[in-house]
Chains A and B, each alone.
Chain A
C-alpha cells in the first residue's frame, strides 16, 4: 500500500468547512453527469434551479417560507442527534403538533388572536414533545431502538390525521371533498415584511438553541451523553432524565414547526402538512454538523433545492424527484467527505524518512 490512513488529531473549522464545500461541488458535478445522461444541459438545469428559488421577490419569499419549518425542525433534531438519539420521527412530531394546534383553532375560532395563537403554539409544542417522549421513555427505560420506533410513529401520526380528515373532522360544507375546514382568521399567524412571522421565530430559536447547547448545563450534559454514556454516568449525569428532557425539547420544536405550517401555510390541518420536512431536516441537520448557525445555511440551501425542483418540473418537465436525487447525492458526498475530516492520508514512506533513505 502506498498510502496509509492516519487519524487527524485536530482540524481547523475553516478546513473542515472547506472539505464540505468541495464535497457539495463534487455532488453537483456528479449530478451533472446524471443530467447529461438524460440529454439535458446541466448548466441550464442548475440555472433554472437557481432561478426557481431566487428569480423574483415572490420566489425568494417562497424559498424563505420553505426554509422556516426546516430550520425549526432541524434545531429540534440536532438536539436529539447530539445525544446520538436518532430521532427520525420529526415528520410525526410535526404532524401531531399541527393536530393539537388545529384542535384549538377549530374548537375556539373566536378567541382573541394573541390568546388563540399562544394556545395553539403551546399545544403544538406539547403534542410534539409528548409524541417524542414515547420513544424517549422506552430508550431510557430499556434501551429500545429509537430509530425504528420514531419512524413507526410517523406512520401512526399520518394515519391518525388521515382518519380525522376523512372522518370526524371532515368539512361537511366541502361538497364531498375530504378536507378539514379552514381556520378562522384569528388562528392564522400574521405577516411581517411580507412573510409570516415564523421566520422571526426561526431566527430567535437559532440563537436560543445555540446558547442552550453551548452555554447551559443541560446542553453540556446532552453533549457528554452523546460522546459516551459511561462518561456521563461517571460525571454524575442522570442519563434517563437527560434523555427525556432532551427529547421533549426536540419533539417540542418539531411540534412548533407543525403548528406554524398548519396555521400560516395550509391554514388548516391535512396529511400533507409536514410534507417531508421531518426527513429533509435530517439532512440539513447533518450538513450543518448539528450546529445551530449552520442549520440556517443548510436549510436555505435545501429550501432553494425544493423550490427550484418544483420550478424545473414545470419549466423542463423534469420530475421534482430530481431534486431528491440531488439531495441524496449531496448527502452522500458530505458523508463521504467526513472521512477526510477525521482522517488524513499520508504516504507510507514519509513517516520514516531516515529508513527509506538508507534503503535507497
Chain B
C-alpha cells in the first residue's frame, strides 16, 4: 500500500516579448529556445508515457504571457522560420563534422531532434502546442494551474489592492478562456505570499497555491505536519509548501544532478565558438553572437577543460539519478509516515526551463522517474495537489508567513539598489488606473468600437505589462538590463498618455490603434474592468460567466 505522495510541479513562464515592428528581435529567441529545448521534449515525454500506459501525475503552471505567445500566429510563424534555419545549420554541421567520430554522431542527433520538433509542431499540433497540454489535462494526467496575468510580484504591488485583484482575476479569466474550465490552483509569482492575498485568491475561486518552505514552517500557529501536509488559510484556500530536500537535489549548483560531469555543458555553444563567417547567418543579423542550441561538450569538471559529449553516458546517468531521487523520496516518506497519522505529500516545484534548457537531460530524467515510480516500487505515488485535498479534506488552519522562493527568501531580489526606483512609478500608475476604471467602467458594456472602452482596456494592458516582475528580476541579475529599462519606460509612458488623454477627452485613435496592435496581450479580455474598487461589479461578472 502506498505510504506517501510525490507532487512534481513545473512552472513554465516567459515574459511577454513580441515585437511585430522588427523582423529579428533578439529577445524573442528566449521563446524559440524554450519551445525547442523544453516544451517540445516535455510533450514528447508525456506522449510516450501515456502511450505506454504509465500512470503519472504532474502539475504544470503556464503563465498567461507564455500561453498568449504560444497561441500568437505571428510568433508561431517566426518560430517555424527559426526552426528551418536551425535545421539548415544542423545539416551544415553534419557536413562539417564529416568523419569526426566525436562530433558527427552529435550533429546527426541534433538534426534528428530538430526534424522531430518540426514534425510535432507543424503536423501534429498545427503550430499550437497549448492544445497538447490541454489534451493531456483532459485525459487526466496533467494538472495545469494558472498564474497571475503578467507574473506581477504581489507583495510589492500590495499598495493598491486593485492591482493585486486585477493580476489574479485577469490571470484566472485568461486561463478559463484558454483551457475551457476554471483553474483549481494558482502559482503565485515567485511564490511571493503575504497574509491577505489568500482572500483575493478565494474570491477568484481558487483552491490552492504554493509557497516556499519557510512560508509554511513559520506559519502562525505552528503547522503540525510541517511542509508535508497542506495548510488552510483562514479564508479556506490551501497552501502547499516546498520540500527542501527534494529541491536541493535538483536545484543545487554544487550537489545537484544537473552539475554532473557527464551532462551536456550549457556554456559551450557553437554560436560562440565557430568561425564568424560560417555562423553569421544563424546568429543575430547585427553580428551579435547568440546561443544556437547546438552544443558538443560535456561538463567534465569545474575547470574550463571540456571533453566531447557522450549521449549514452548521459542517458545512463539520467537513469541513475532518477533512481536515486526516487530512492531518497522513498526513504523520506517511509520515515515520515512512521510518525504521521496521514500520508505525507512531498511537493517538488521547479522551473520548467530547468528541464531541457539549462539541464539538457532533464526531460529524460522525468521520463525515467515516472516509469520507475510506476513500475519499480510501491511506497510512493505521483499525485496532483487537488487529488490530495480530495483525499484529505480536513486540514489545519494556519496563516503562512510572508515569503518567496527568491534569493534570501523574501522580497530583496525585487526591491534593491538596481530596481527600487521602479515602484514609485508602478504604484502611481496603479492609483491612476484605479481612478480611470472607476470613472469609465460604465463604457465596458458598449460595443467594441467605443473609443473609451478601447482606451480603458488598453490602459489596463499597458499597466499589466509594466507590472511584470521579470523587469525587476533582469535589472538585478544584470542580463539585458537596457531592454528591461526600455520596456518599463515604454509601458508606463503609454499608460500615462492614455490617462491624460482620457481625462481630457482627446484620444488619438490612430495612435491607440497602433499600440493595440503592438501590445495585444489579452485582446479578448476587458482588462480595464478589473481595476475597479467596486467589488460588486467583479462579483456580478463572475456570476454571469458561471451562469453562461
Indicate whether A and B interact. Answer: no
